[in-house]
Amino acid sequence: MLPELCTTGYAFTGRSEALEYSESADGPSVGEWRELSSHHRITIVAGFCERDRDGAPRNSAAVIDAGGACSIYRKTHLWDREQTTFIAGRAPPPVLDTAAGRIGIAICYDAFFPEVMRTLALAGADLIAVPMNSPAATPAPPSAAPASEIVLALAAATVNRVYVAQADRSGPERGITWSQASAICDPDGRLLAGPIAGTGLLQARCDLRRARDKRLGGANDVLADRRTELYDQVAARARTADVTPTKEMVN
């Protein structure tokens, strides 16, 4: 895995600069990853600035399977100034069958939404891969506290019983510093690797078969125990009222 927008950097001045550094899905970066994937028989997930067929910039991730087959996901939840730079994707985050296992894809802010991570788990993801460029919180959390991005990854792994691997970046860019929240989490919510300061490589041995067992203790199952008929009622009323859910709606 490589971070979000790893071919260009993140802090564009606007859409025109993003387009200047963008490349198509069959451009040189994806082409090189495909060669590396085929040569080493590995699966690669990497973020890049894509120029789509209409000439618009996209915040995208390439998933290249061992042997070179490539799928592209375009970020659907755009953060802050990304909304004036990129066109949001319209297709939901996918789960892809690869030589490494069933991989779900989310890009940075996508993973902030529990609905995204749960939907990927429901679709059968063994591991959710999250390329990211996450700006450091201001003010910084207490030194003993983990970054919120690590807490969210551990929580998503636990409540969905999946592996979560996220690749963040390091080094300053145009006044931005980064959370450096690269991590690999297991279905029990344990941190197998990371985070690290500066550049580096995280590795962990993951038995992806564990992510297919959603049992929690002897009597529970994190997917089978859902009460979807209750959630549907709240969601329907919220859509009808077009308001923030009230105390009455959540009781």
What the block records as the tokens of 171 is 């080094």
Query: Same domain, yes or no, for 133 and 248?
Result: no
pLDDT 10s digits, 161-199: 999 999 999 989 999 999 999 999 999 999 999 999 999
pLDDT at residue 242, rounded to an integer: 58
User: Which one of 6, 49, 108, 206 is the catalytic residue?
Assistant: 108
Query: Same domain, yes or no, for 124 and 149?
Result: yes
- Report if residue 140 sits inside a domain: yes
Specify the residue for token string 């390439």. 62
Tally of structural domains, the chain: 2
CB 152 within 8 A of CB 160: no
Please state the pTM of the whole predicted model.
0.91
What the block records as the tokens of 106 is 């989310």
Is it the case that residue 132 has pLDDT exceeding 50? Answer: yes
pLDDT band at 146 (very low <50, low <70, confident <90, very high): confident
Mean of pLDDT values over 230-238 = 83
Clarify whether 4 is annotated catalytic: yes
Query: Same domain, yes or no, for 129 and 75?
Result: yes
Amino acid found at 18: A
pLDDT at residue 244, rounded to an integer: 52
User: Which one of 50, 75, 82, 185 is the catalytic residue?
Assistant: 75
CB 237 within 8 A of CB 250: no
What the block records as the tokens of 118 is 């749960």
User: Which one of 4, 50, 82, 149 is the catalytic residue?
Assistant: 4
Mean of pLDDT values over 227-251 = 69
Is it the case that residue 248 has pLDDT exceeding 50? Answer: no
Query: Same domain, yes or no, for 54 and 151?
Result: yes
**Lowest pLDDT segment from 103-107, 134-138, 163-167, 245-249:** 245-249
Sign of the torsion angle spanned by Cα atoms 96, 97, 99, 103: positive
Three-class SS state of 19? helix
Mean of pLDDT values over 23-31 = 96
Clarify whether 185 is annotated catalytic: no
Query: Same domain, yes or no, for 223 and 164?
Result: no
Highest mean pLDDT among 47-51, 64-68, 137-141, 236-240 belongs to 47-51
CA distance linking residue 44 with residue 3, whole number of Å: 11
Clarify whether 32 is annotated catalytic: no
Secondary element (H or E) of residue 158: helix 148-160
Domain carrying residue 223: 214-251
